[in-house]
């Protein structure tokens, strides 16, 4: 079975502000697909979540089940691997009893994550990692649509 690697990124100009998300999917190191999108008024965290959700959705459509997802977002990585268990146990409340922000996106991500065998890997952003940098460039191009 092929090794599937996904790189994702999201961001916005201002927070909130115009934003973009992007992902790259590789199979055994070969680029097989990319995608990106944008929103006129959003947040960095929403764009990071959208990048991962869209990437995992494409993987399910393409029939991949084992993926290694590389994100430069601690929010996404920690949210899906650690915090979500407590959020769900507390009825989608944070430790300070506030409603979890972006709950609908977390629920989508949780559903996709449960269908796939995802290894979550944090990568340092803006550190010269080829496909992370490619995603960053795609995100910036998406943001430019509104600037």
State the catalytic residues. Answer: 9-10, 48, 72, 126, 136
| Alpha-carbon distances of 17 from 45, 62, 68, 132, 135, rounded to whole Å | 12, 32, 30, 22, 19
R_g of the chain, CA atoms, integer Å:
15
Alpha helices for the chain (secondary structure H): 44-62, 74-78, 84-89, 103-115, 130-144
């Amino acid at each position: 079975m092929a090794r599937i690697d996904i790189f994702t990124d999201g961001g916005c100009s201002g927070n909130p502000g115009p934003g973009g998300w992007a992902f790259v999917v590789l199979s055994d190191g070969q680029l097989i697909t990319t995608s990106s999108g944008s929103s006129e008024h959003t947040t960095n965290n929403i764009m990071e979540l959208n990048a991962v959700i869209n990437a995992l959705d494409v993987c399910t459509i393409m029939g991949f089940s084992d993926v290694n997802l590389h994100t430069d977002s601690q929010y996404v990585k920690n949210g899906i691997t650690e915090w979500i268990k407590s959020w769900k146990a507390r009825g989608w409340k944070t430790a300070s009893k506030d409603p979890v922000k972006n709950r609908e996106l977390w629920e989508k991500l949780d559903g996709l994550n449960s269908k796939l065998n995802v290894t979550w890997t944090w990568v340092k952003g803006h550190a010269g990692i080829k496909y992370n940098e490619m995603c960053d460039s795609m995100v910036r191009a998406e943001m430019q649509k509104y600037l």
